[in-house]
């Protein structure tokens, strides 16, 4: 199977997880990226079975609307049963690096409002140790250089992702070379730097269910 076929297969598996949670009053959280797009496309089949979705990006909101799925503002809905999203890396503890698509802040907010986080990924995203993928950090634009200097003190090699503006009007720094020994501690430490909006470590609140699409089929991890 190609990587795209694996993404679609794992999205189909996520639909099977989500289907029993749906109902006419149910709003679900939907993530961002190419794997999440596969999920959105398959979610279209269930359009009449649930109320709608909260999207973690403008791009996902547009894709959902394109399928005739109602999109709600997060402030309009309460706690949602489930959030489905991809990841750039995921470890055995279901901790992730996310934000390759620059949507990390909204992803973390929407995930925080959902009872169950289902991470969907092809097998290339599964890692022993987080950190080969550069850690994305969303920063307030005026703080970018300051935050970068603070990140150097943590041992990172920060690189400004030029030309990218997040849905929140902010900028992204990608951190190379970080030694992510303790993901929860590093997530907390980076968030404490003034000017950081969010960092792409999803460790304090990892996924609850991980669906991996590989050569041998779909594996489910808790
Ligand atoms: C976007 C994300 C995505 O979930 C992550 O980048 C994975 O994307 P893809 O499914 O395209 O590999 O965090 O900010």
Specify the ligand 1 atom closest to the Cα of 102. 14
Specify the ligand 1 atom closest to the Cα of 37. 10
The CB density around residue 162, as the number of other CB atoms within 10 Å, is 7
For residue 59, what pLDDT is reported?
98
Q: Is the CB of 98 under 6 A from ligand 1?
A: yes
Q: Look up residue 54 and give its two tokens.
A: 């909260």
Catalytic residue among 89, 107, 138, 187: 107
Say if residues 195 and 173 touch (Cβ distance below 8 Å): no
Question: pLDDT class for 132, splitting at 50, 70, 90?
Answer: very high
Share of the chain above pLDDT 70, in %: 100
Tell me the C-alpha to C-alpha distance, in Å, between residue 150 and each of 13, 100, 183: 41, 21, 18
Model pTM? 0.96
Let me know if 21 is exposed, middle or buried by CB neighbors in 10 A (0-12, 13-18, 19+): middle
Q: Is the CB of 100 under 6 A from ligand 1?
A: yes
Mutate to test the pocket of ligand 1, among 85, 86, 89, 122 (most ligand atoms within 8 A of CB): 86
Tell me how far apart the alpha carbons of residues 178 and 48 are, in angstroms, rounded to a whole number: 45
Question: pLDDT class for 139, splitting at 50, 70, 90?
Answer: very high
Specify the ligand 1 atom closest to the Cα of 98. 13
In this structure, which long-range contacts are made by residues 180-183, counting pairs with CB atoms below 8 Å and at least 24 apart in sequence? 180/129, 180/130, 180/131, 180/135, 183/91, 183/93, 183/95, 183/130
With CA atoms as reference, report the closest residue to 115 among 77, 87, 86, 89.
77
The CB density around residue 58, as the number of other CB atoms within 10 Å, is 14
Tens digits of residue pLDDT in 35-53: 999 999 999 999 999 999 9
For residue 128, what pLDDT is reported?
97
Say if residues 54 and 74 touch (Cβ distance below 8 Å): yes
Tell me how far apart the alpha carbons of residues 120 and 137 are, in angstroms, rounded to a whole number: 22
Calculate how far, in angstroms, residue 34's C-alpha sits from the geometric centre of ligand 1. Answer: 7
ipTM above 0.85, yes or no: yes
Q: Is the CB of 219 under 6 A from ligand 1?
A: no
Determine if residue 7 is labeled as part of a ligand binding site: no
For residue 156, what pLDDT is reported?
97
Tell me how far apart the alpha carbons of residues 113 and 115 are, in angstroms, rounded to a whole number: 7
Overall average pLDDT of the 10-32 stretch: 97
107 is catalytic: yes
Determine if residue 87 is labeled as part of a ligand binding site: yes
Tell me how far apart the alpha carbons of residues 32 and 211 are, in angstroms, rounded to a whole number: 16
Mutate to test the pocket of ligand 1, among 101, 103, 132, 206 (most ligand atoms within 8 A of CB): 101
For residue 192, what pLDDT is reported?
98
Calculate how far, in angstroms, residue 124's C-alpha sits from the geometric centre of ligand 1. Answer: 13
Tens digits of residue pLDDT in 66-123: 999 999 999 999 999 999 999 999 999 999 999 999 999 999 999 999 999 999 999 9
Q: Is the CB of 158 under 6 A from ligand 1?
A: no
Tens digits of residue pLDDT in 157-204: 999 999 999 999 999 999 999 989 999 999 999 999 999 999 999 999
The CB density around residue 151, as the number of other CB atoms within 10 Å, is 22
The CB density around residue 44, as the number of other CB atoms within 10 Å, is 13
């Amino acid at each position: 199977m190609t990587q795209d076929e694996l993404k679609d297969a794992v999205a189909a598996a996520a639909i099977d997880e989500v289907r029993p949670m749906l109902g006419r009053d149910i709003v679900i959280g939907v993530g961002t990226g190419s794997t999440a797009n596969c999920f959105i496309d398959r979610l279209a089949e269930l359009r009449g079975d649930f109320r709608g979705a909260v999207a973690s990006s403008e791009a996902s909101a547009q894709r959902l609307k394109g399928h005739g799925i109602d999109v709600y503002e997060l402030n309009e809905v309460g706690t949602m049963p489930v959030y489905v999203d991809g990841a750039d890396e995921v470890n055995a503890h279901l901790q992730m690096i996310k934000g390759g698509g620059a949507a990390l802040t909204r992803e973390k907010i929407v995930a925080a409002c959902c009872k169950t986080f289902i991470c969907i990924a092809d097998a290339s995203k599964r890692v022993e140790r987080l950190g080969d993928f550069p850690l994305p950090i969303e920063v307030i634009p005026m703080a970018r250089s300051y935050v970068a200097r603070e990140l150097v003190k943590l041992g990172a090699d920060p690189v400004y992702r030029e030309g990218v503006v997040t849905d929140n009007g902010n900028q992204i720094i990608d951190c190379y070379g970080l030694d992510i020994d303790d993901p929860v501690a590093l997530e907390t430490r980076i968030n404490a730097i003034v000017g950081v909006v969010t960092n792409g470590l999803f460790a304090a609140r990892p996924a609850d269910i991980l669906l991996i699409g590989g050569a041998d089929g779909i594996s489910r991890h808790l």
